[in-house]
Structure 1
């Protein structure tokens, strides 16, 4: 009798499969996996919460340095979307055939600030020249080898003509969020951070900052792209459209992001 029941169940499953009525449910099939640059840590909490509320889908975020994500994606990391702090990384992935054609979108440009905790006696009115203060023991910047904000910080310090005088004091964060943590925790006296972190609720009441003039470093053009390996391209496209909506653009602006002209005009692709 047991064998007959088993044969009957197998017959039902085969018939259901043929008719398209049954298929195994993939765990997390409705989730969208995003590799996001660390400067988005606070902004994307709000952005993704709004998206989840509107759509009922779930976003899984991983934050880190854009350069590290670039390497991980090359090695097959299972992300659907890559939000980089440097447009060059998505372009390089596109050249390798790892990006969905036409999906690169310049969603924002970032800004640098010099930041200290509220208890600091440093006078930030001197901007980057503040780094020359003899009382400073450690200066936090993101690792310029794979963090775009770190590379921009080095450019700005060189432009100020003080690199050789201060570089021995650098402590390097793996990404811009870790760099901020160094200063917040007292492991560095001062830091060069992303404006998007400095204005976020979690940090704005803990310290003060002054912006680094944007002409002192190359533009930090940030871009997103859909990965060709994504199993959720329809949902990924939906999120990209959401990022371009006026309300989302306004939300990003509240976190200190400027919107590049190309983004405002709706340009979505970079030449491959």
Structure 2
């Protein structure tokens, strides 16, 4: 009897410690367009609160699938509405969450080039790459995130379809698993450039070696970036979620080119 009681006590203790660890160090699944902005926000949050947060960056569609399969994320910051709301519809989040930012798309290319397209024709570089391919067979790669699971890839496809270039660029296209990887591809030696997140173009490590031009917002569906708390999220996850709606976090997001909702209020559960 004593042995059984001991095992029960040990089991209860392990469960309690597990729950405490989850509350103290939540893992956040974040769209890779947030790689630099969210890292800066998290550093401030940890310094001010004394609580730790673990960041995991990737594509929103992949995170949606992982959370649906039971991955232990407590906060999900998507690059769109669709993936976050799909989890809510499946009963996996505490509420519909909030739109915390609006994303923008840019044409990004290496800084040493002297032929950055103008705002009136931001895809001129794509057209020139296609002309060169037709005339010489040379493939200057066009980078974008995979539209199968990356919202910025979906936006890039919309833009290219709008101007009738999506089918034509197939021989030149190179796709990243997420928009951060696509930005790296866009700046590689064999690439002409790429369609990536504005927030990445403004990041110091990329800005010093690249140039960009904004893509008009009405050339693609809005990138309404929504975040949600996954059911079972702990106390630290809730505090971090609230912090992301505060003035300091919003100032950082704005500095990285994100548009901000006027009143970032949480939806009713």
TM-score by length of 1: 0.85
1:69 to 60, 63, 70: 63
Shift of 1:168: 2.7
Structure 2 residue aligned with 1:242: 243
Q: Distance in 1 between matches of 2:253 and 2:183?
A: 19
1:184 to 179, 184, 187: 187
1:87 to 81, 85, 94: 81
Instruction: Kindly provide the CA deviation profile for residues 220-248 of structure 1, in whole angstroms up to 9, marking residues without a partner as x.
Output: 00000000143x1x222211211111121
Do the aligned partners of residues 44 and 266 (structure 1) sit closer, same or farther apart at CA in structure 2, a change above 3 Å counting? closer
Q: Distance in 1 between matches of 2:116 and 2:168?
A: 18
Root-mean-square deviation (CA, aligned residues, Å) is: 2.4
Do the aligned partners of residues 51 and 159 (structure 1) sit closer, same or farther apart at CA in structure 2, a change above 3 Å counting? same
State which drifts further: 118-127 or 69-78.
118-127
Unmatched 5+ residue regions in structure 1?
1-6
Instruction: Kindly provide the CA deviation profile for residues 143-197 of structure 1, in whole angstroms up to 9, marking residues without a partner as x.
Output: 0110000000010111123223323311111000110111223242211110000
Structure 1 residue aligned with 2:263: 265
Q: Distance in 1 between matches of 2:255 and 2:228?
A: 23
Unmatched 5+ residue regions in structure 2?
133-138
Do the aligned partners of residues 166 and 246 (structure 1) sit closer, same or farther apart at CA in structure 2, a change above 3 Å counting? same
Do the aligned partners of residues 59 and 21 (structure 1) sit closer, same or farther apart at CA in structure 2, a change above 3 Å counting? closer
Q: What are the equivalent positions in structure 2 for 1:187-266 lying under 5 Å apart?
A: 187-230=190-233, 232=234, 234-260=235-261, 264-266=262-264
Q: Which has the larger radius of gyration?
A: 1
TM-score by length of 2: 0.86
State which drifts further: 132-141 or 219-228.
132-141
Structure 2 residue aligned with 1:3: none
For the 8 Å contact 1:82–1:224, the answer to whether it is kept is yes
Residues paired across the two proteins, number: 252
Secondary structure at the counterpart of residue 112 of structure 2: coil
Structure 2 residue aligned with 1:25: 17
